[in-house]
Amino acid sequence: MQVLPWLILLLPLFAAVGIALGALPAHRRGVAARLSVGAAGLAFLLSVLLWSSGTQGEQGFLWLAAGALKVEFGWRLDALSVPMLLVVTGVGGLIQVYSLGYMRGDKGFGRYFAGLSLFTFAMEGIVLSTNLVQMFVFWELVGVSSYLLIGFWRERPAAADACKKAFLTNRVGDFGFFLGILLVWSLLGTVNFTEMSAVLQRQPEALGGLATLAGLLVFCGAVGKSAQFPLHVWLPDAMEGPTPVSALIHAATMVAAGVYMLCRVFFLLDVPGSVALEVIAWTGIFTALLAGVIAVQQDDIKRILAYSTLSQLGFMVLGVGLAGGSHDPAPAMFHLTTHAAFKALLFLGAGAVIHALHHQEQNIWKMGGLASKMPVTFVTFGLATLALCGFPPFSGAYSKDAILLPAYEQGRYGLLVLALTGGFLTALYMFRLVFVAFLGPAKSQAMDQAAEVRGVMKWPLILLAVPTVLAGGWGIEGVYRRAFGAAEPVEAVSWFGQIIAPLTHAPMVALLAFVAAAGGAFVAYRLYWDALTDPLPDKLGTPAEWARRRFGFDELYARIIAGTQDALAGLAAAVDRWVLAGAVVRGGHGLVELAGRVLRLVQTGNLQGYVTFFVAGTVLLLLFVLTR
Amino acid sequence: MAWLSFIILCPLVAALLIAVLPRNLRVLFRVLAVTATALSLAGALTVFFSFQTGSDGLQFEEYHPWIELLGAGYHLGVDGLNVGLVLLATVVAFAAACLAWEVTHREKEFYLLLLLMTGGVIGAFAAFDMLLFFVFHELALIPTFLMIGIWGRGPDRDYAAFKLTLYLMVGSLLVLLGLIGLHAAGGFRSLDMVDLQAHLAIDPAPVAWQRTLFGLLLAGFGMLVALWPFHTWAPTGYAAAPTPTAMLHAGVLKKFGLYGLIRVALPMLPEGARTWLPVLAVLCLGNILYSGLVAIRQRDLNLLIGNSSVAHVGFAFLGIASLNVLGVTGAVLVMVAHGFLAALLFGLNGWLHQRFGSTEMDRFGGLLVALPFAGTLLAMAMLAGCGLPGFAGFPGEALVLFGAWQYSRVLTVLAAWGALILAAVYMLRAIRTVLHGPLPEKLRGIAADVQNPWQRLPYALLLAGLVYFGVWPRALVDKVQPAAAEVVARARSWAAVPGSSMPSGTLLAGNDPEPGGTP
């Protein structure tokens, strides 16, 4: 069993290297596909084996050690990492299969699968990491694979800009993350999760007055990777990548890595004297609402889903922030897991639509009537929408309910109301999307040719619909709860018991959440059923315009960067050119040359002149010596 | 077998052969240069992989008396500090010799000078005698001036060559004065580094003398490595240099200054180090932040790489300034990593210049599609340049930052900004401009990739170096760490010096205790 985690981790890497070295040309696409999909599928099967064997523990070898720093490279299996591994390899495997169809005609087929395999490797690395530095290494590798895949169609300026923006925005978060690692290391003396947690258990005050700062610096990493406000701007642009990439990396797994990381280091956040969790909760809910509002006024099918992802990530981060004390962040992981299934399904559905429209059209106001043309896509997309909006008995209802519950129990009604508003917005923008793109009248000629996807693209949709519908009753939250020290449940709860649990536990929360979602769906029905254009800008005016323009964050940041870093760079370059290289070097050069020219005047070769200078010098010296 | 002598002599003997051969045997010169550097490389690989990790003292040591009057000897050896640098020097020299095909006139002289430079630079890193150390360095430096002057390129060639020569000559002069001062401090008995170090450990030089000498050495070595604000020779100098020269100088010879600081200045002048390292800690931010910012504004790929190279060596300075095991080990790692990286970047840049006649970035675009091999390598090198894990720069810079954190948190935050943000900004902007986007009309016809495997080999080799030490940093760290620990211990022995009255905890030092001090 000890060899399994190594295999799971390294198989995708071998696939990536193998493709990069030998299967990039178009005529070897078969090899590339077999390598990549094979590695992903095998990794999933081995993960299932690992899960069923119940292996737990930690293993690693020394990777980097000097002075007081000791970094291991290894794996850690527990109730947090093993289910997450199943999510990554399971969803990842299905999306790779789907990609076989979606990317069929692309010149860069091999390169695409090499990128996906590299991503799978890096993501599994994050999940299995035993320490902060190893996690940071894979954190960066995930970032670069995301960069490569967003910029997959690199000759398109929009894609090239988007990948650069994604990487740089993430780097800002990583900057904070790295400083957080340094700070935690210097306070606790180790970067290993087990050891850090042991130190904190012995001495809860070990972080001292820097506890909040340490927690927030580490949180910076999650803000970047999980695209929380104020670093949320990169994720919508990341939709320039191929749609399966958006599904896997920018919806299901990589962007959730921030949430996973927060859960992994939860013991650092939940220490006495730290208000980090409070900040995390408010960041999450603010992101959830901001993105929800923006999503209502977007027209590009993928961008709507991207903002929806932002919003849901906000809910997960809220779930982490609400933990502490008697609550653990298992609800965040629960929502991460269900979200991975239904959001991947939504993106793959959007991909099916885009594929059916020959990659020409992504504006929902040019679509319409797709439900009858693409029934499988419509049904699965609809199920995922219901799950996302939180209608029981679909999976999303339970995970969202789990996040709301602590807010209710802790009496934080402000957060609860805001979260319910978020739920309302979710239903509004999702039903807007479904009504306009799938149900309403066809709004352009292109819809006539749309046809259902087949084969490798259809089955992943159907398979992903299974957890989308059922995962609420699988007891996922209980599994994660064990990672935070909860005991094994005494008696197994039946599937039906799980399904009705919210009603028996806190019927108020379940009811409110349902009302909020139903309200959103109803408003969407009134506004968008059979609509040909968006009525909201006329009704709301300026606020709608702001939402459409995403509240101008991109422009604001561009201006800030231009005003600070770029201005400084300009100044430094000018100083370098004119002062250091110009004045100092050329000036020094000039001075030497001037001295040479002046002295040359003296070297006349005239004997009388030399004698005169000699005598004058002697007189001066004599004067100096004698008058002292 | 005297491996180190073999490694140094291969290129020098080949240079001698070329000197006596008639000048029309062009192919033979090339074959000789490539063969000689390949033999050196094989030797250096043997030395590197048979190096006994964990054992103290010099390995592969050779000693022959030389000038008894001065106490100078032909003393070679490797320990953890230089074993990686010797390997780096031979890899880069081999790659540079392979890429010298771009030189098409006066090949005889060019190969002659290139081989002299190679022998000199390897010798400088293997020498344990200060006279030998200095002479080998000059043997490498003077061909640099000649190569830039004769085979250089670009309109500013003369100015660039002039500036570079001036700076490096002044730097060498200061280093020479400092070394003579050390010789004097040791009572003019020995120029041998091991002897002198042992002698100064028991009988340290007076404090004022130490401060003066360390200042001289810091200024001199600093100029040779382009320490801010003595850095302006580097970007323009490399832009004007022929590709192999830029590779060897930026990749290897430049490290002489850093190596000298660690090998000579730190262990022999602890009190000087204590006075001057806080100054170095501030100046290195000039490299990291200021040159990083300057790099952002460059529109020419060559100048961008030159400025980024100045910025990267700042991390080695920062590691030295932190004066702890983590920092100094990281500094050595950064030196090796940057050597491979700079050589790779200048090599690719030279290839682009050769092919397109200019490296102005706005002329390019979409090269990843047009030139799959060269473009991919350039992209990988640039990602390595922004400190991506998997390439050797990451463990190096990470160790330096961990070490610097123990020294001063403020400095570390600023340096981390340079490492994680600024480097990513200029590297990714360059990728966006040069490699991504559509291919301009003008380049449609003339864009042909590196096809010949012999031309691909040098680039692949340099990349392999970056990846090897990036994936398995312990190959180097385990060797470096004991030696670095010894240097740090010696350099921190200032308490032993009589009359040292500096208050501890200067200006910026945070005086953190070692982490984990609490149970």
Which parts of B241-372 are beta strand (E)?
none
Tell me the pairing of strands A57-66 and B72-78. unpaired
Instruction: Count Cβ neighbours within 10 Å for each residue of A322-338 and write b for 16 or more, e otherwise.
Output: bbbeebbbbbbbbbbbb
The phi and psi torsions of A134 (rounded to 5 degrees) equal -60, -40
pLDDT-wise least confident of A477-481, A577-581, B31-35: A577-581
- Tell me the percentage of chain A whose pLDDT exceeds 90: 47
pLDDT at position B47? 94
| Count helices and strands in chain A by DSSP H and E runs | 29, 2
- Tell me the percentage of chain B whose pLDDT exceeds 90: 60
Q: Which value does ipTM take for this structure?
A: 0.92
Q: How far apart are the first and last CA of chain A?
A: 95
Mean pLDDT, residues A391-420 taken together:
89
Rounded to the nearest integer, the mean pLDDT of chain A is 88
* pLDDT tens per residue, range A259-294: 999 999 999 998 888 899 999 999 999 999 999 999
Probe site for chain B from A146, A147, A163, A167 (most B CB atoms < 10 A) = A167
Question: B186 to chain A, minimum CA–CA distance in Å?
Answer: 31
> What ranges in A189-300 are assigned the alpha helix state H?
193-202, 211-225, 234-237, 243-247, 257-264, 266-269, 276-296
pLDDT higher than threshold 50 for residue B56: yes
Q: Do B432 and A164 touch (CB under 8 A)?
A: yes
pLDDT higher than threshold 60 for residue B175: yes
State whether residue B165 sits within 8 Å of chain A by CB.
no
| C-beta of residue A392 within 8 angstroms of C-beta of residue A502 | yes
pLDDT at position B189? 84
Residues 296-325 of B with CB under 8 A from A: 296-298, 324-325
pLDDT at position A449? 78
Give the relative orientation of helices A458-470 and A330-356 as an angle to the nearest 10 degrees.
150
Alpha-carbon distance A300 to A290, whole Å?
18
According to DSSP, the residues that pair with B75 across neighbouring strands are B63
Question: B424 to chain A, minimum CA–CA distance in Å?
Answer: 7
Alpha-carbon distance A543 to B23, whole Å?
79
Contact residues on chain B for A185, CB-CB shorter than 8 A? 402, 405, 515
pLDDT at position A488? 63
Instruction: Count Cβ neighbours within 10 Å for each residue of B277-297 and write b for 16 or more, e otherwise.
Output: bbebbebbbbbbbbbbbbbbb
Alpha-carbon distance A189 to B21, whole Å?
63
pLDDT higher than threshold 90 for residue A622: no
What number of C-beta contacts closer than 8 Å exist between A and B?
Answer: 159
Alpha-carbon distance B215 to B276, whole Å?
7
Q: Do B431 and A164 touch (CB under 8 A)?
A: yes
Half-sphere exposure of A514 (CA within 13 A, CB side): 13
Rounded alpha-carbon distances, angstroms, from residue B170 to B77, B216, B221? 28, 11, 10
Alpha-carbon distance A164 to B308, whole Å?
18
pLDDT at position B510? 40
Residues 208-267 of B with CB under 8 A from A: 229, 231-232, 236
* C-beta neighbour count of A517 within 10 angstroms: 27
Question: B316 to chain A, minimum CA–CA distance in Å?
Answer: 16
Probe site for chain A from B170, B291, B293 (most A CB atoms < 10 A) = B293
| C-beta of residue B279 within 8 angstroms of C-beta of residue B228 | no
Quickly state the pLDDT bin for B95 (edges 50, 70, 90).
very high
Contact residues on chain B for A134, CB-CB shorter than 8 A? none
State whether residue B290 sits within 8 Å of chain A by CB.
yes
Rounded to the nearest integer, the mean pLDDT of chain B is 88
Contact residues on chain B for A66, CB-CB shorter than 8 A? 325-326, 329-330, 399, 477, 480-481, 484
Probe site for chain A from B159, B166, B283, B294 (most A CB atoms < 10 A) = B294
* C-beta neighbour count of A537 within 10 angstroms: 15
Probe site for chain A from B307, B436, B468, B486 (most A CB atoms < 10 A) = B436
Please give the model's pTM, rounded to 2 decimal places. Answer: 0.91
Probe site for chain A from B324, B409, B432 (most A CB atoms < 10 A) = B432
* pLDDT tens per residue, range B126-168: 999 999 999 999 999 999 999 998 888 877 788 888 888 888 9
pLDDT at position A273? 83
Q: Do B425 and A168 touch (CB under 8 A)?
A: yes
Contact residues on chain B for A161, CB-CB shorter than 8 A? 432
Tell me the pairing of strands A57-66 and A69-77. antiparallel
B395 upstream amide cis, omega within 30 of 0: no
Residue B1 identity: M
pLDDT at position A553? 85
pLDDT at position B503? 40
According to DSSP, the residues that pair with B129 across neighbouring strands are B192
- Tell me the percentage of chain B whose pLDDT exceeds 70: 95
Contact residues on chain A for B438, CB-CB shorter than 8 A? 155, 157
Q: Do A157 and B438 touch (CB under 8 A)?
A: yes
Tell me which residue in A64, A68, A159 faces B516 most closely, judged by beta carbons. A68
Rounded alpha-carbon distances, angstroms, from residue B242 to A45, B258, B298? 55, 24, 20
Contact residues on chain A for B412, CB-CB shorter than 8 A? 179, 182
Q: Do B425 and A565 touch (CB under 8 A)?
A: yes
* pLDDT tens per residue, range B294-329: 998 888 999 999 999 999 999 999 999 999 999 999
| Secondary structure letter of residue A487 according to DSSP | P
pLDDT higher than threshold 80 for residue A68: yes
Contact residues on chain A for B324, CB-CB shorter than 8 A? 67
| C-beta of residue A497 within 8 angstroms of C-beta of residue A370 | no
Tell me which residue in B372, B412, B429 faces A182 most closely, judged by beta carbons. B412
* pLDDT tens per residue, range B421-456: 999 999 999 999 999 988 888 877 766 777 778 788
Contact residues on chain B for A179, CB-CB shorter than 8 A? 412-413, 416
Quickly state the pLDDT bin for A444 (edges 50, 70, 90).
confident
> What string of H, E and C letters represents the secondary structure of A395-412?
HHHHHHHHHHHHHHHCCC
Q: Do A572 and B395 touch (CB under 8 A)?
A: no
pLDDT at position B363? 87
Q: Do A154 and B416 touch (CB under 8 A)?
A: no
Q: A1 or B183, which is more confident? A: B183
pLDDT higher than threshold 70 for residue A581: no
pLDDT at position A582? 65
Q: Do B326 and A141 touch (CB under 8 A)?
A: no
State whether residue B29 sits within 8 Å of chain A by CB.
no
| C-beta of residue B354 within 8 angstroms of C-beta of residue B102 | yes
pLDDT-wise least confident of A528-532, A590-594, B216-220: A590-594
Residue of B nearest to A63 (CA): B474
Q: A442 or A183, which is more confident? A: A183
Contact residues on chain B for A584, CB-CB shorter than 8 A? 229, 232
Assign residue A392 a region (left: φ > 0; alpha: ψ between -120 and 50; beta: otherwise).
beta
pLDDT higher than threshold 70 for residue B214: yes
* pLDDT tens per residue, range A126-178: 999 999 999 999 999 999 999 999 999 988 899 999 999 999 999 999 999 99
Probe site for chain A from B297, B326, B401, B486 (most A CB atoms < 10 A) = B297
Mean pLDDT, residues B376-382 taken together:
93
Q: Do A154 and B297 touch (CB under 8 A)?
A: no
* Residues in contact with B123: Cβ distance below 8 Å, sequence separation at least 6, in sequence order: B8, B76, B132, B136, B139, B140
Q: B156 or A415, which is more confident? A: A415
Quickly state the pLDDT bin for A586 (edges 50, 70, 90).
low
| C-beta of residue B476 within 8 angstroms of C-beta of residue B334 | no
Mean pLDDT, residues B276-288 taken together:
92
> What string of H, E and C letters represents the secondary structure of A545-563?
HHHHCHHHHHHHHHHHHHH
pLDDT at position A24? 78
* pLDDT tens per residue, range A448-486: 778 888 888 888 888 999 888 888 878 788 888 888 877
pLDDT at position B513? 40
Rounded alpha-carbon distances, angstroms, from residue B72 to B188, B216, B256, B263? 10, 22, 20, 17
Residues 426-455 of B with CB under 8 A from A: 428-429, 431-432, 435-439
pLDDT-wise least confident of A231-245, A570-584, B350-364: A570-584
Question: B74 to chain A, minimum CA–CA distance in Å?
Answer: 33
Contact residues on chain B for A203, CB-CB shorter than 8 A? 518
According to DSSP, the residues that pair with A70 across neighbouring strands are A65
Contact residues on chain B for A187, CB-CB shorter than 8 A? 515
Quickly state the pLDDT bin for B22 (edges 50, 70, 90).
confident
| Secondary structure letter of residue B51 according to DSSP | -
- Tell me the percentage of chain A whose pLDDT exceeds 70: 97
Q: Do A154 and B366 touch (CB under 8 A)?
A: yes
* Residues in contact with A522: Cβ distance below 8 Å, sequence separation at least 6, in sequence order: none
Tell me which residue in B296, B326, B425 faces A66 most closely, judged by beta carbons. B326
pLDDT at position A123? 94
| C-beta of residue A259 within 8 angstroms of C-beta of residue A477 | no
